[in-house]
């Protein structure tokens, strides 16, 4: 029996909020739970970068480890874009809010100390 390979933390996928995009975008390290076989063209934030044609539309699945509950949750993002060269996943807060996910994106340093709690600066699934 072979031991499972331990992933290098520096290779772990990270996600950032991006309210400038229309939908969530995933790159390196994402699991494609469903390939819709549909594609779209994407225009990046700089015109000099040009249009990226034939970007896959898919359902992405990522894992989140909850350090307090010692549980791993599988999160699904439907109608997301897959750009394999993307180093960090881009999460669209408006798309998440439209799907009943609470996105508290105010940095803690901008919140009064008495208003900080475990839901401050967090993403909270309500279901």
Q: How confident is the model at residue 33 (pLDDT cuts 50, 70, 90)?
A: very high
Domain boundaries along the sequence of the chain: 13-99
Q: pLDDT for 54-99, tens place per residue? A: 999 999 998 888 888 899 988 899 999 999 988 889 999 988 888 8
Residue tagged 């989140």 (tokens): 64
Distance CA 92, CA 96 (A): 6
Record the pTM.
Answer: 0.76
Task: Please state, in angstroms and as integers, the Cα–Cα distance from residue 24 to each residue in 69, 113, 123, following that order.
Answer: 26, 31, 14
pLDDT at 12 over 90: no
């Amino acid at each position: 029996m072979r031991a499972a390979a331990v992933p290098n933390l520096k290779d772990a996928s990270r996600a950032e909020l991006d309210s400038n995009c229309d939908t969530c975008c995933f790159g390196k390290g994402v699991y494609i739970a469903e390939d819709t076989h549909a594609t779209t063209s994407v225009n990046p934030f700089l015109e000099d970068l040009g249009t990226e044609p034939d970007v896959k539309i898919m359902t992405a699945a990522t894992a989140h480890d909850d350090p307090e509950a010692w549980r791993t949750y599988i999160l699904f993002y439907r109608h997301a874009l897959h750009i394999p060269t993307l180093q960090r996943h881009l999460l669209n807060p408006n798309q998440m809010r439209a799907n009943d996910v609470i996105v508290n994106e105010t940095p803690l340093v901008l919140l009064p100390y008495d208003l900080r709690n475990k839901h401050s600066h967090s993403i909270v699934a309500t279901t």
